[in-house]
Structure 1
Amino acid sequence: MSQTNVSRVKEKPTKRRWFVLFLVCIITFINYLDRANISVAAPFISSDMGFDAAKMGLIFSAMSWSYTCMQIPCGWFLERLGPRVVYGIALFGWSAFTGAMSLTYNFASMIACRLGLGIFEAPAFPANSRIVTAWFPSRERGLAIGAYTGAEYVGLALCTPILTWLLVTFGWKSIFVATGLIGIIFTFFWLICYNDPGKSKGVNQAEIDLIKEGGGLSDTIAEKNKVNWKQVKYLFTSRQLWGMYIGGFCNTAILFFFMTWFPSYLVAEKHMTMLKMGIYGALPYMAAIAGVLFAGRWSDWMISKEYGIGISRKLPVIIGLLLSAVIMAANYTNDITIVIIFMCIAFFGQGMASTISWALLSEIMPKQLVGLCGSVFNFVSNMGGALSPAIVGYLIAATGSYASALVFVSAMGGLGAFSYIFIIGKPKRIVIPD
């Protein structure tokens, strides 16, 4: 054995992938903080500008419409330019539109800023999926996806009380100024610190080998990739993917209830004060964090015990979606403690489903179209985010209460579970012929 080979055998893998995951978690934290901050400000915005529930529903959903429409174009940009450049442009752009929300003065200007926010936030989760698939072996991928998915809820859980304090102390516009500045500053850290495995500083060959041998795609995903559009048909003809698309649609519809209407539900339906809402409203987000972390570790544990991809990746999602359906039980009590318990159970389940959905997708997506496949999945999933706030707003305006809205959210949990059980079938990597 040569001296070079002996050195390589003895070489310990570096841990650069965990620093990359830290960057992804921070950027995802900012992403969800900027898309959900309006939910805290909503009662004051509707009061100041005279918006009813139907108009607020349209404002909530505007971000999701542009976000959804940009998913597939952003997948193309990811394949061509790579996540470093695309994510840097996106983070700066959505942070600028977040700050611009403080300058809005009517319905049209607010809709315009939310549309701009959605356009620039669109690459986020396809980029996350591409980064984790490139940097992590399969046995660590559930934990990695759980970590950045949990970061979504950390922003909402920890910052809801802080944003509420800003709202009460300085007015609702201060929320958008503060959150916009955070993202603009972090853009520069991202561009300096991130690169793909083959070009990244601080990673050795032993770590790249560890990723590759564990099922990571560090050798397949290059910084730039030419898209063969004849291959794209596989993204729309696969039964596995359509099962995931439907499940993702339902899960995102549940998420967007919590990201948009939940604080207003506590204030308007359960008659909480704003400061009390800031405290109680953070609890379901904390439950979601627990759901994300629990599902990620449980799924990876099942992978390590060789239970198979089907059980290891599907079972946590199915259980999570069924738990989300518990939200409807809040219609049958006015005890705020019991209401919050039901909300915590529902959001715990939603968190479980969110993290492992992306882990399952990483196991079955075609190697040639990782970025684009993530974009298509996010496109269909976020149709749920686009429709859910508007549907909830319509139901509230039509009935005068949130009861029917909770029934709708509960039904999404049931439909999503059905899709994962009966449509996906046995998951396996989709192979596109050369």
Structure 2
Amino acid sequence: MTDTDVAPAVSACTPKAPSSTRRRAWTVTALLVVFMMINFADKSVLGLAAEEIREDLGLSASAFGLASSAFFLLFSISGAAVGLLADRVRPKWLLLAMAALWSVAQAPLAVGGGLAVLITSRVLLGAAEGPAFPVAQQATLSWFPNHRRNLPGALIVLGITLGVLVAAPVLTWLIQNHGWRSAVAAVALVGVVWALLWIRLGGEGPYAAGPGDATGTDAETSTGTGAPTGVAPGPAPRKTPYRRILATRTWIGATIAYFGTYWVIAFALVWLPSYLQDALGYSSAGSTQVVMLVWGLGGVAVLGQAGLTGWLLRRGAPSRRARGGVGGVLLLVAAAACLALPTAPAGAMTVVLLVAGFGLAGAMSSVAVTTVTELAPADRRGGALGFMNAVVTTAGLIAPTLIGHLVDTHGAEGYRSAVLITGAVLLLSGAAALTLIDPDRDGRRLST
């Protein structure tokens, strides 16, 4: 069933899930929101402690950028590999293994060591966190039919924002009062606690896979098989090759659009506090407040996008408009803000443009995932999402290193060039979302 069919079909075809299933669905969703909060608290430590780490280890901006980019060295590869594995192994156990590895990877850095330990720790952490977002989305969305996926998908993205909003003041306090290694130890310990809770409460839902869901129907019940109640099992449908999914304009458009979002995320996590302090003259406390504004607006944009997209889908709008259109427009507004930022007068206007440019782009994360989830058959979603994540997160490998080089070469002026490059990337990403995304069209082509 395509999104254009949702409005007339919801009440007629979709039985209401039992209350126990609904409670379990939201319990799992809440746990995975916390999972993403921890994931991005891990990522944000280096950016929040950038000045302290550089001073403690005697690093130049280029060396620090290289250490930050090392996080993404295996991030993309593991994202694709584990994405494929998620179509064969229960996501519950993959998510548990990731959380355990996060804590193990950070333990040596929390105890001591120099640049070599920092890089090694970040490489291992990146390998463990690379598949986190697509597998978390796959597990969450397996509890909901297509027309109900926008909100839970957006909440997983909101976990990114909440992770930074909660982590920024807490980790900044730890860094200032107990040193930056204490912040690393804190996020490692929280990862262990989450893993213990997930063993008891985690799992996958009734829409994880099966003949019904593989063909796009939302008529599955909570039997756990994904097949419609009362329908005799037929011959297994022919599996769609991954290469056909990855060649669709929708997958390509969603991936390009999401790449722009991840570029902004990498910039914000690694260099935004330094940009605010070194180029715009903010204090450490003032830069933390602006960072929280950026991520706060990102959370509002994610929830607002989910509400608007869901409303459009329920009114029968095609996904091309409801998902590609909404996500594309947000990216273009963010692009315009970034392109205007370097020439804006200092003061309130600078803050408004910076918050809009870095905050609005985040909503595309949710759009890209729900779009690819709609497009791909259930038994190919893990791989389709994993490959998308692998391509997208190369932005995290490129952006920190490039920005560090620009800062070392041009000083504070290097940040101006970095913001303009970010605006150009967002402009291309928004155009791709508006012109290429159409899961209804491409889903029909895949089914033939």
Query: Where on the TM-score scale, by shorter chain, does this alignment land: which range?
Result: 0.7 to 0.9
**Alpha-carbon distance, 1:66 to partner:** 1.1
Q: Of 340, 344, 347, which residue of structure 1 is paired with 2:355?
A: 344
CA offsets, 1:187-225, max 9 Å, x none? 01011111223599xxxxxxxxxx94279996459xxxx
**Alpha-carbon distance, 1:104 to partner:** 4.5
2:430 matched residue in structure 1: 417
1:207 matched residue in structure 2: none
2:219 matched residue in structure 1: 213
Whole-Å separation in 1 of the counterparts to 2:416 and 2:72: 24
Whole-Å separation in 2 of the counterparts to 1:54 and 1:229: 46
Deviates more, 1:67-76 or 1:126-135: 126-135
Q: In the superposition, relative to structure 1, how do residues 339 and 108 fare at CA in structure 2: closer, same or farther (>3 Å)?
A: same
| 2:416 matches 1:429 | no
**Alpha-carbon distance, 1:147 to partner:** 0.7
| 2:303 matches 1:297 | no
Query: Secondary structure of the equivalent of 2:203?
Result: coil
| Contact 1:322/1:349 (8 A) holds in 2 | no
Q: In the superposition, relative to structure 1, how do residues 328 and 158 fare at CA in structure 2: closer, same or farther (>3 Å)?
A: farther
CA offsets, 1:158-209, max 9 Å, x none? 2212211111111111110111100111101011111223599xxxxxxxxx
What residue ranges of structure 1 are gaps of 5+ in the alignment? 1-8, 201-210
**Alpha-carbon distance, 1:251 to partner:** 1.7
Percent identity between matched residues is 22
| 2:278 matches 1:268 | yes
| Contact 2:141/2:152 (8 A) holds in 1 | no
With normalisation by structure 1, the TM-score equals 0.88
Whole-Å separation in 2 of the counterparts to 1:89 and 1:314: 33
Q: How does 1:79-228 map to 2 (within 5 A)?
A: 79-197=87-205, 212-213=218-219, 219-220=225-226
| Contact 1:234/1:432 (8 A) holds in 2 | yes
Report the residue type matching 1:32 in the other structure.
F
**Alpha-carbon distance, 1:332 to partner:** 2.0
**Alpha-carbon distance, 1:419 to partner:** 1.1
Q: In the superposition, relative to structure 1, how do residues 394 and 18 fare at CA in structure 2: closer, same or farther (>3 Å)?
A: same
| Contact 2:207/2:220 (8 A) holds in 1 | no
2:392 matched residue in structure 1: 381
What residue ranges of structure 2 are gaps of 5+ in the alignment? 1-14, 209-216, 228-235
Report the residue type matching 2:382 in the other structure.
G
Q: In the superposition, relative to structure 1, how do residues 95 and 316 fare at CA in structure 2: closer, same or farther (>3 Å)?
A: farther
Whole-Å separation in 1 of the counterparts to 2:171 and 2:188: 13
Report the residue type matching 1:295 in the other structure.
Q
CA offsets, 1:359-392, max 9 Å, x none? 2111112332111111001011111122111111
Whole-Å separation in 1 of the counterparts to 2:105 and 2:333: 35
Whole-Å separation in 1 of the counterparts to 2:248 and 2:318: 20
Q: In the superposition, relative to structure 1, how do residues 418 and 198 fare at CA in structure 2: closer, same or farther (>3 Å)?
A: closer
Query: Secondary structure of the equivalent of 1:410?
Result: helix
| Contact 1:125/1:374 (8 A) holds in 2 | no
Whole-Å separation in 2 of the counterparts to 1:214 and 1:146: 22
**Alpha-carbon distance, 1:426 to partner:** 5.8
Q: In the superposition, relative to structure 1, how do residues 23 and 320 fare at CA in structure 2: closer, same or farther (>3 Å)?
A: same
2:380 matched residue in structure 1: 369
| Contact 1:235/1:373 (8 A) holds in 2 | yes
Q: In the superposition, relative to structure 1, how do residues 74 and 421 fare at CA in structure 2: closer, same or farther (>3 Å)?
A: same
Instruction: Figure out how many residues of one structure are paired with residues of the other and give that number.
Output: 411
| 2:332 matches 1:319 | no
Deviates more, 1:267-276 or 1:112-121: 267-276
| 2:255 matches 1:249 | no
Query: Secondary structure of the equivalent of 2:341?
Result: helix
